Structure 1
Amino acid sequence: MLEQRTGQQLAMSRQWRIETVLQSLVRARGLGSLDRLVHAVAAGGDPALADAVIDALLNNETSFYRDRNSFELLLGPAMARLEQARTRERRISIWSAGCSTGQEAYSIAMWFAERKARWVGWTIDILATDVSRTAVDQARSGLYSQFEVQRGLPVTQMIRWFEESPGANWRILPELRRAVRFEVHSLMNPAPSPARFDVILCRNVLLYFSDQVRRIVFARLAEAAAPDAVLMLGAGETVIGQTPAFVSDPDCRGLYIRRPDALPAYRAAS
């Protein structure tokens, strides 16, 4: 069911998570056991229950500025190159695909907000999407626990961009929340609007897909990428041996760029 709805596989090494993550759902629904939960989902009488199971099985692990070295590459030399290339249109579109609870998208929004003078007159469009409605709802709320805020975020930025919220939580200031659009979206589907992005982040998502699904997703990303777009994957992910549509960025090792000559044939094959 997870693979049918999201494209993600639950590999043998992750099957221990099934009982662990679903126990809270079993208790909340008063079902008594995992077997009863399985029967309730299989009966098909409660679509919301099936949705809750899928949400629970998804891995929403993320943090602010996750893998900081990669962010320094993206927001340093790669962004400077895009800034120069977009001088005439003065617009940069960024897609955080598989955004989970939104920390990475907000990390980018903070970076732009702290450099307002540099980007005066520019339109910075940040779109963040995830297949999990629960994750997207949290991201839109901008509400995070003390633990979540402290992961990867310097104290100075926490003080500047967050306000305390009841229950020992922190909420991102409205100014920053307005800077990011959040949508529910599956990477199996065509890219959301504007479907032409200068920066695409798809981090620690592809590793959960089969080879076949991964090829489809790479095709979606390539079709959504501007000719000189930058692609940022997770630290343990690569395009090598995975897709001919992207190659390593020669100026920013660890990031990737689209290969225009490979796209038409790749689209046809996919």
Structure 2
Amino acid sequence: MTMPQAAPPMSHAAHKIVSLLEQRTGQQLDAGRAWWIDSALQPMLRERGLASLDELVARIAAGGRCEAGLADLVVDALLNQETSFFRDSSVLDQLIGAARDMAGDTQRRLRVWSAACSTGQEPLSLAMLFAEAQEQGGMALPEIRATDISARALLRARSGRYTQFEIQRGLSIRRMMRWFELRDELWEARPELRLRLLYSQQNLMSDPMPAGKFDIVLCRNVLMYLSPAARRAVLERIAGVLRPGGLLVLGAGETVIGHSDALVPSERYRGMYRLAAH
């Protein structure tokens, strides 16, 4: 039987880049994913006329006005921006039901936060669902805030423009035709949808949290990339802006158990989390 080959050791330059990524974002890259560093940074090396990762690391270390922001560009290039419309749609459907319960008969305007929103498919999915819920039962449209650490991802999110491949991932033909228009071979979200979303750049580890309290926070498929200490820190920070009775939604393979004392599983909504009673 052929034994699996061990991943080749990381180079000194790769170690430096991994350390930079973890320092800035809390995300970790192990030796098994070292190939991703070279692949993700090749376009930047070519654009800057750099021959190797060693030269890139040396340029960052040298600093100077000419290389201002280079470290930020490196981190941005290494971020995983995998996303799609209506990802884990059953979770989002359950979330609409929870939102109806929260609003009750008061028609209070809820506040929703899509953290680490990437290129915007998640907040747009939420905007569509809440618009449809309003039509079906008079539910008030919530305030939807969306944040991401990547300036590049947010630029695309704000534009609301997607390729044919991206628009087909999770979006039904009915919703595509209703909420998007084909412009210059890209599908663009209609203004009445885009203008309902408030985007801003934010590092979950270090930047100030959005002001006020939220009824619903989505932070999906982020914790899995973080170190244990970073997971705890992010969860504690989210708990600080979650309204009593509010809900946190994580990715399918993520949990607060063992990572936070401030949050516990919701008894009513499977896979969601609420503030712990004190």
State the TM-score, normalizing by the size of structure 2. Answer: 0.87
RMSD between superposed Cα atoms in Å: 1.7
Deviation at 1:82, TM superposition (A): 1.2
| Structure-2 residue corresponding to 1:69 | 90
| Structure-2 residue corresponding to 1:230 | 247
Deviation at 1:44, TM superposition (A): 1.4
- Point out the structure with max Rg over C-alpha: 2
| Structure-2 residue corresponding to 1:81 | 101
1:156-213 superposed Cα distances (whole Å, 9 cap, x missing partner):
11111111122x321111111101101001112342123x000000011111111111
Equivalent of 2:71 in 39, 43, 50 = 50
What SS does the corresponding residue of 1:15 show, helix, strand or coil?
helix
Structure 1's unaligned 5+ residue stretches are 262-270
* Cα distance in 2 for residues equivalent to 1:108 and 1:33: 42
| Structure-2 residue corresponding to 1:110 | 128
What SS does the corresponding residue of 2:210 show, helix, strand or coil?
coil
Deviation at 1:224, TM superposition (A): 0.5
> Aligned residue pairs: how many?
256
Deviation at 1:249, TM superposition (A): 1.4
* Cα distance in 2 for residues equivalent to 1:121 and 1:253: 23
Equivalent of 2:140 in 122, 143, 147 = 122
CA contact (8 A) 1:219 1:245 kept: yes
Equivalent of 1:219 in 236, 255, 278 = 236
Alignment of 1:133-212 (within 5 A): 133-166=151-184, 168-188=185-205, 189-194=207-212, 196-212=213-229
What is the percent sequence identity of the aligned residues? Answer: 49
CA contact (8 A) 2:133 2:139 kept: no
Q: 1:19 to 1:68 in 2, by over 3 A?
A: same
Deviation at 1:117, TM superposition (A): 3.5
What SS does the corresponding residue of 1:52 show, helix, strand or coil?
helix
| Structure-1 residue corresponding to 2:9 | none
What SS does the corresponding residue of 1:242 show, helix, strand or coil?
coil
Post-superposition, which runs of at least 4 consecutive aligned residues in structure 1 deviate over 4 A? 118-121
What SS does the corresponding residue of 2:86 show, helix, strand or coil?
coil
Give the counterpart letter for 2:31 in structure 1: M
Deviation at 1:18, TM superposition (A): 0.2
CA contact (8 A) 1:90 1:123 kept: no
* Cα distance in 2 for residues equivalent to 1:50 and 1:119: 49
Bigger relative contact order (CA 8 A; separation at least 6): 1
Equivalent of 1:2 in 16, 21, 26 = 21
State the TM-score, normalizing by the size of structure 1. Answer: 0.89
1:94-119 superposed Cα distances (whole Å, 9 cap, x missing partner):
00111111111110001112233457
Deviation at 1:93, TM superposition (A): 0.1
